[in-house]
A and B are shown apart, each in its own frame.
Chain A
Amino acid sequence: MTSFDRRTFLAATGALAVAQALPARARAEEPRAEPAARAAGRPHPGRALVLLQLTGGNDGLSMVVPHGDDAYGRARAATRIQPNELLALDEHRGLHPALKELRGLWDAGAMAIVEGCGYPGPNRSHFKSYDIWHNADVRGRDKRSGWVGRLAEQAFGDEPSTELVVHVGSTAPFAVYSTVRPPLVFATPATYKWTGAETSDLESYRRAAQLDTDRLQGLEGKSGSERAIVRLREVLAEANASSARVRLAAARHVARAKYPDDELGESFRNAAALLDARLGTRVVSLETGGFDTHSNQRAAHDRLMARLDGAIGAFFADLKGRSIERDVLLVVYSEFGRRVQENGSRGTDHGAAAPVLVFGRGVRAGLHGRHPSLVDLEGGDLACTTDFRSVYASIARDWFGTDPKPIVGEWPGLSLVG
């Protein structure tokens, strides 16, 4: 027997992907009803996670500003946010002035801040740090799926929805990588379709998925090629159905708030439409960049905060009153924060710990974790007081009701749901 492991065999035959690529044809014909309440131990029906990555290393100190700490004023000059500008949360912290909608969510008890979130031995390389956040392992990426991929495989492995994990954007982060429950990736619902030169071609494309009846009678005796064609035709049928579902979800969704007219606003609007349609989506992954503010930070970061506030504010205003509102948890994170001490270019360099923001009707609002000292630094950076894997563990355990240990390990002690 060769030293091939079973996974190699399965991967080579594509059998691993069969579960996803062979949708039950019946699914397309089922009414889009919410799943019935499940037995104890099953993941909570209907709940979803929206995961937003702020790419580049967001300056947490300019987002949740420790205005009550003298050390802040000493470390920051050009990047400093004055106390009178802030939206104070308490006598120690305040939100960036542009975060008005977020302040509203805080006041409404729909926002939590996990302070000092990071991991031991911080890595200041963007890519290495993403790998750590995406794989939930300080050694970075390994050979498994990303943490959300593992969550999907474990908690929702047998949920039939094709739209189970969706990345709204162009390239999905490794966090959602999985060959068992791969993410759908599209920038807008309009591009999640096959584009024919003429509308009649679309009909021809749809018909290409139709199976001849004699092929339905078992796959034994057919050549490898024929079996592969049958499988792919089923994926095509599902692609047509899924594309129609997603675009119709976007069509039926009449936004109840004005989303900002930019990419992030558009992504959140699509996320709201997708979730509201209850297609069985459990995770929506989003990403927005520009946070690597090494120089002339103030103007750039102010714009980023305004953009963030507009999009998130609109998202929750849009969900307000809809049944999906209580089933959505939004988690906003970045691969690291930035240095306490400002640099010589009116900006900041790569740092370590930073706050993670969590939003939703079901969130246990307020502050979590311990505020890191601006004086007792580690290598010039804020020390991590809450490991980010606690956040992931709470999402798995408290929000979805699944065992976090196989996904991210043992990280008790934080509950974001309440």
Chain B
Amino acid sequence: MLANCLVLLAACGVDQPWTAKEAEHLLNRAAFGASAVEVRAAVERGRAATIEQLFAPSPPQDPPWFERVVLPERKKLRELSDDEFQVLERAARETDRRQLVELWNWWLQRMACGVDPLRERMVLFWHGHFTTSTDKVTRSWPVVQQHRLLREHALGSYEALLRGIIADAAMLTYLDNTNNRRGRPNENLARELMELFSLGQGNYVEADVKEAARALTGRTTRNNEYYFDAGAHDAGEKSVLGTKGKLDGEQLVDILLAQDACPRWIAGRLLTWFEGAPPSSERVEHYARLLEDSGWRVEPVLRALFADPEFYRDEIVGARVTSPVDYLVGSARRLRLEVPSFVLNGGAILLGQKLGAPPTVKGWDEGLPWITTSTLMQRGNLAGLMLGTVTLDQVVSQADLVAGNMARLDAGLPAQSADDSMGSASDDSMAEFAMGSSSMSEEPMSAERLKGLKPGKANGAAIALLRRLDSTGYLPRANFTARVRAAGAASDAEVADALLDDLLAIPAPAETRERMRLYLARERADRDLREGAWLEDDQTSERILRRVAHLILSLPEAQLH
């Protein structure tokens, strides 16, 4: 009751600002971002109504159907030769592999196009909290079942998830609980259950882990589903965190939930997830109480958080580096493009986030760790791929040439054949090149030079993604000309602002606006186009605006939300 009053008061937001800044921030963090139009609508609707919409029940949708793939058993197929059996087994494993890809593709589609983004974001949270990895759990059925568990309770009860996860075939396999037997305990699940899934380090001792492992014995799998093997269960007296008894898994969960550390750990994880910064102990305490008082239901906690003025503080608004999934899904949404799921999935893998397979049981390291020199550039490349400004022809023709010669041309150095000595490039041009200043040669490659260059292999996953996209006949269906015109933009500055406001999740810095304005002015000048009037014919303007969009999404600012 008290919690509900607090929520109500907070939701009134009497003295809290509700401008585009707050609205966009909420939609960035609780959903996957919003276009400028959607942000304006949210501002008009008001904070309470926008929050309400995030939690509104979504229209009924069929859950995806997945086949329960059964591996052929050698014992039962004795009449087959080894070769024939291998063919069957390989086919079953291939079906498993493809179904897993389908699962992630389906989920990414929901993130990018679904009307329930908060739920999808919470599934992503739980997916990185109760981690398993398809590197180890290669069978699709248990992974699908786990995903269904996370979906069902994503905005529901943490308790239900905790109880469900110790009866989850994928988790039991991943953390070796299938090897956890009476007399031969395996502590892996017990340890991660306490350290990562419920209490956090420092809130239990080694003896608790050992005893908890005993409580979890017998929980194993059979035919890729949860199975309790009573014969393997250690039914003896145990003591975990001060509670004694013939504890089993359910009772272990009771004990974990009763610890003060539990709601604090989960509340802290939720705050860190949505805010992208470590929360103060006071706020952790407040939300921990809320979580516990609401019976472990996550929804009241989130409602309170989204109405909390601290959630909109300067330290965190626009300050978090998007995860690969966030970047790709968010960009697709902002671009309003129907990007094939395999691009989102394959792109996320390229950027270091393989759904279903976080690097360790701790999940993914969020924030700035996502960004390296290679992933930063690849984000921009993937945006270009979505926009059609990076095409297969262009990239393959670049990569098909001996890489070195292309780089030499970029650097303003003459192309080299294999016989040339190394002396032609001066150290000056190398230093200049290394400093990043432009000394690019505009010299086109002569036909003679082209003949002398040997083709190499254009390979790698990025190229493969491009090839596949090209083979689907993908055409980005966007009309940026119409979009900026609908926003009432005419001058270069207005056009630049319209695109920046739409495509960035954060307000564009002044110098960036100026740069984009200059870019547009130059492109128009090169083609003798009149400011404003050039937008009436989208044949010339569209290509330019797509390049601007590509550039915008490659900027440092575009990696933040």
Contact = CB atoms under 8 A, between A and B. Distances in A.
B367 A239 contact: no
A190 B462 CA distance: 12
A142 B196 CA distance: 12
Interface stretch (B122-130, B154-162, B414-422): B414-422
B251 interface: no
Given A196-B550, A224-B315, A32 B434 contact: yes
Nearest to B516: A204
A265 to B, nearest CB: 8
Interface stretch (B106-114, B290-298, B435-443, B492-500): B435-443
Contacts of B321: 14, 228, 232
Contacts of A203: 438, 440
B551 interface: yes
Contact of B551 (A21, A131, A196): A196
Contact of B316 (A199, A208, A224, A254): A224
Contacts of A2: 200, 264-265, 268, 279, 281, 284
A188 B365 contact: no
Interface stretch (A46-54, A91-99, A242-250, A363-371): A242-250
Contacts of B459: 187-188, 263, 266
A12 B337 CA distance: 31
Nearest to B526: A200
Interface in A199-254: 199, 201-209, 212, 223-229, 231-233, 235-245, 247-248, 250-254
A195 B278 contact: no
B435 A28 contact: yes
Interface in B510-532: 511-512, 515, 519
Q: Which size class do B's interface residues fall under?
A: 35 or more
Nearest to B351: A185
Contacts of B199: 3
B142 interface: no
B440 A13 contact: no
Nearest to A5: B201
Interface string B296-321: 00000000000000000011111111
Interface stretch (A73-81, A176-184, A389-397): A176-184
A109 interface: no
Interface string A122-161: 0001011001000000000111100000000000000000
B376 interface: yes
Contact of A169 (B136, B278, B416, B460): B460
A3 B260 CA distance: 10
Interface in B406-463: 406-408, 410-411, 413, 416, 418, 420-422, 425, 430-431, 433-436, 438, 440, 442, 456-463
B82 A343 contact: yes
Given A29-B435, A194-B554, A254-B420, A205 B380 contact: yes
A194 B381 contact: yes
Contacts of A185: 372, 374-375
Nearest to B440: A199
Contacts of B371: 17, 21, 232, 235
A187 B461 contact: yes
B436 A241 contact: yes
Contacts of A16: 365, 368-369
A143 B361 contact: yes
Interface stretch (B242-250, B325-333, B395-403): B395-403
A100 interface: no
Contacts of B91: none
Contact of A195 (B361, B373, B390, B464): B390
B336 interface: no
A171 interface: yes
A15 to B, nearest CB: 8
A18 B367 CA distance: 11
B470 to A, nearest CB: 14
Interface in B124-175: 135-136, 138
B389 interface: yes
A263 B458 CA distance: 9
A261 interface: yes
Interface in B22-73: none
Contact of B434 (A1, A144, A248, A253): A248
A28 B434 contact: yes
B376 A251 contact: no
Contact of A345 (B86, B277, B433): B86
A70 interface: no
Nearest to B512: A208
A187 B460 contact: yes
A170 B461 contact: yes
B314 A223 contact: yes
Interface in A6-25: 8-9, 11-18, 20-21
A232 B377 contact: no
Contacts of A184: 372-374
B560 A228 contact: yes
A186 interface: yes
Nearest to A189: B403
Contacts of B316: 224
A228 B394 CA distance: 33
A233 B202 CA distance: 38
A174 B317 CA distance: 33
B16 interface: no
B501 interface: no
A227 B314 CA distance: 11
A229 B405 CA distance: 34
Contacts of A188: 399, 403, 456, 458-460
B542 interface: no
B4 interface: no
A174 B136 CA distance: 13
A34 interface: no
A334 B531 CA distance: 62
A12 B276 CA distance: 6
Contact of B404 (A143, A244, A252): A252
Given A189-B407, A204-B515, A13 B314 contact: no
B321 to A, nearest CB: 7
A128 B136 contact: yes
Contacts of B264: 2-3
Given A3-B201, A143-B362, A170-B350, A227 B276 contact: no
B366 interface: yes
B365 A11 contact: yes
A8 B278 CA distance: 8
B556 A236 contact: yes
A82 interface: no
A198 interface: yes
A294 B90 CA distance: 11
A255 B405 CA distance: 13
Nearest to A130: B135
Contacts of A196: 384, 389, 547, 550-551
B360 interface: yes
Interface in A22-62: 28-29, 31-32
B405 A251 contact: yes
Interface string A357-380: 000000000000000000000000
In the A-B complex, the 5 residue pairs with the smallest Cβ-Cβ separation, listed nearest first, are A187-B460, A14-B368, A224-B319, A232-B556, A225-B318
19 contacts: A21-B368, A21-B372, A32-B430, A162-B373, A171-B461, A194-B377, A194-B381, A196-B384, A201-B550, A208-B512, A224-B316, A238-B373, A239-B373, A239-B377, A244-B433, A244-B436, A247-B406, A251-B425, A252-B404
Interface of A: 1-5, 8-9, 11-18, 20-21, 28-29, 31-32, 125, 127-128, 131, 141-144, 162, 169-171, 174, 177, 179, 182-199, 201-209, 212, 223-229, 231-233, 235-245, 247-248, 250-255, 261-263, 266, 270, 273, 294-295, 343-345
Given A32-B434, A169-B460, A204-B515, 20 more contacts: A2-B265, A3-B202, A11-B367, A13-B278, A17-B371, A185-B375, A189-B407, A191-B463, A198-B547, A208-B551, A232-B559, A232-B560, A241-B436, A243-B373, A245-B433, A247-B403, A251-B416, A254-B418, A270-B403, A295-B82
